[in-house]
């Protein structure tokens, strides 16, 4: 998905911008989805693609959410 840099800054939060546009990451074990247990689908904040289902989430002890499969063949 192509957008001008200023468009990304308007669409994304500062944290999302840092992660998605500047290759940033949060420190391990600090993200809001590490211990998230609700059923649902994880969606890209930039393009709204469905990436992962909560049904495939597992505890990898890495400090970040981990999934054993993508949502669909087109997801990732």
Q: Using alpha carbons, select from 43, 41, 32 the residue that is nearest to residue 65.
A: 32
For residue 41, the cross-strand partners are 53
Q: Bridge partners of 53?
A: 41
Average pLDDT rounded to a whole number, residues 9-13: 95
| CA 14 to chain CA centroid, nearest Å | 14
Under 8 Å between Cβ of 71 and 55: no
Record the tokens describing residue 57, joined without a space. 């989430």
Domains of the chain: 5-67 (2.170.150.20)
Confidence of residue 51 (pLDDT cuts 50, 70, 90): very high
For 42-71, what is the mean pLDDT? 95
């Amino acid at each position: 998905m192509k957008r001008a840099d200023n468009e990304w800054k308007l669409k994304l939060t500062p944290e999302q911008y840092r992660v998605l546009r500047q290759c940033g990451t949060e420190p391990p074990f600090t993200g809001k989805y590490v211990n998230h247990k609700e059923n649902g689908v994880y969606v890209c904040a930039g393009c709204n693609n469905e990436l992962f289902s909560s049904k495939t989430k597992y505890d990898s002890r890495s400090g970040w959410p981990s999934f054993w499969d993508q949502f669909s063949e087109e997801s990732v």
